[in-house]
Structure 1
Amino acid sequence: MLMHELTMPGFVQQRRQVEAAILPIGVMEQHGPHLPLGLDAMHALALAQAAAAIEPCFVLPPLFYGICRSTANHPGTIGISGDALRAVLHDIGQGVWSQGIRCLCLLTGHAGGTHQSALIEAGERLLTSTGLQVATVCVLDLLAEARPILQCPGDSHAGEVETSLAMHLWPGLVQGSAAEEYPSFPRFRLVRDKRAHWPGGVWGDPTKASAEKGRLILEAEAKALAALVAELLAAAQEGA
């Protein structure tokens, strides 16, 4: 259930039965020439709602800002620092714990490595500052059951997966398509002009996308995320 739509008495009533929450997290960044800038948070929110329909939990309002490193030079990208992200996540976690929620899943629709590391660091801090059961997970880690239907094994950003999801969930926001592309960043060397190594902002092949694939992807992700929430709840009951 969407926590921001509950009244105060409604939250108190639901809290008697619901002990877990999902925080959808994304970033404001380019998603090729054809997908909306806020897709990562939009995806995480839609997925959290689908999982909550399977395993009841609170769905917190999404966080639309995170760490954008590889896309920093592209139009529309607005990132925040790692310090800011870790601080916000910790404060939200503290608030969740103070409201009687026992489990928190930090669900990111953005797969950037630096961004995900910040989530893990914030989660680890919450383990020591609260009694929460905490999980951090990226949407790409929940795709195991959907892999057989995917045609692009290296897909990661604005490609087959995300374009399919957008075609299924927000078809009116998909502005055409884009060509297959992959970034060409040096293996170890950091670069200032990141757009020169990733001009189109696509990592994969959007031409392989379809609305039906998007439906199947979301179903597979939701099933896996619901299982993770159930695992958190079981750990909380065991006092692990």
Structure 2
Amino acid sequence: MIIEELTMPEFVAGLEKTRTVLIPFGATEEHGPHLPLSTDTLHATEVGRKLAARRPIFIAPPIPYGVCRSTSCHPGTISIRTETLKALAFDIVSSLYGQGLRTFVLLTGHAGGTHLSALIDVGEELLVRFADCRIAVLTEYMLAAKEGRGLIETEGDSHAGEIETSRILHSHPQLVKGTAAREFPDFPAGILVRNKRRCWPGGVWGDPGKASAEKGARLEGLVVAALERLVDQLETMEDY
């Protein structure tokens, strides 16, 4: 059930089927010279829609902004503060709770460490605020890298590389503009860098040349199946 497409009566009827909602978090962030700035948002939204076709679950409207530090100097990246992300997540979950939802999956297509930590922090706050809610916070990349480890050829592949290029070639091929060179960032350990493009000029972390739409379709299917298993576990687990 895609929330923005529902009417009021349809939302009420949906509550009779489930009290679980998935909230897709994304980013507007560079993904090399070949992938759209919306890549992370597309990933999280697409698997949410596929999951909703398999089971009763609400899918909230995606949040297309995230905390993007490593790519903040690259053209097109629009980053928000951790405080902003936490406030958005807190307010959205609180509002959905007020509407009757009790199980929340905060799925982020953007896997930045600071971004994820902010979502985990607010998830912990929400567990304290609402004693009868269940919350999961995870990145879409966690599932893709784990479930697709037998498919992925590039060791350490991450941002705009083999995995993400394959996924967009499958789900939104019209948005892929060619390919890009294999690249890995070279940030100095422990040192904060002001000019981040100097250490990561192309904005690719992996090898887009090994991507394919077929691989993307298989990865997406694996991610959706893993996400469904997680929702099953979250909905049936005992309180602890």
The two structures share one fold, judged by TM-score above 0.5: yes
State yes or no: 1:89 paired with 2:89. yes
Query: Which residue of 1 is the match for residue 198 of structure 2?
Result: 196
Query: Which residue of 2 is the match for residue 134 of structure 1?
Result: 135
| C-alpha deviation, 1:239, in angstroms | 4.3
State yes or no: 1:206 paired with 2:218. no
Identity, in percent, stands at 49
Residues 20-62 of structure 1 deviation map (CA, whole Å, 9 limit, x = unaligned):
1000001111000000001101110001111222332100000
Counterpart CA distance in 2 for 1:105 and 1:153 is 29
Contact persistence 1:159–1:180 (CA under 8 A) = yes
Counterpart CA distance in 1 for 2:142 and 2:19 is 24
Query: Which residue of 1 is the match for residue 7 of structure 2?
Result: 7
Contact persistence 1:55–1:230 (CA under 8 A) = no
Letter in 1 for 2:191: R
Counterpart CA distance in 2 for 1:190 and 1:91 is 31
| TM-score after normalising by structure 1 | 0.97
Runs ≥4 in structure 1, deviation > 6 angstroms?
none
Which runs of 5 or more residues in structure 2 are unaligned? Answer: none
Partner-residue secondary structure (3-state), 2:104: strand
Which runs of 5 or more residues in structure 1 are unaligned? Answer: none
Contact persistence 1:67–1:79 (CA under 8 A) = yes
Letter in 1 for 2:216: G
Letter in 2 for 1:226: E
| TM-score after normalising by structure 2 | 0.97
Counterpart CA distance in 1 for 2:97 and 2:227 is 21
- Equivalent residues in 2 for 1:36-115, closer than 5 Å: 36-115=36-115
Query: Which residue of 2 is the match for residue 147 of structure 1?
Result: 149
Contact persistence 1:34–1:177 (CA under 8 A) = yes
Partner-residue secondary structure (3-state), 1:147: coil
| C-alpha deviation, 1:145, in angstroms | 2.7
Letter in 1 for 2:136: A
State yes or no: 1:122 paired with 2:122. yes
Letter in 2 for 1:176: G
Counterpart CA distance in 1 for 2:181 and 2:7 is 46
> Aligned Cα RMSD in Å?
0.9
Counterpart CA distance in 2 for 1:110 and 1:22 is 15
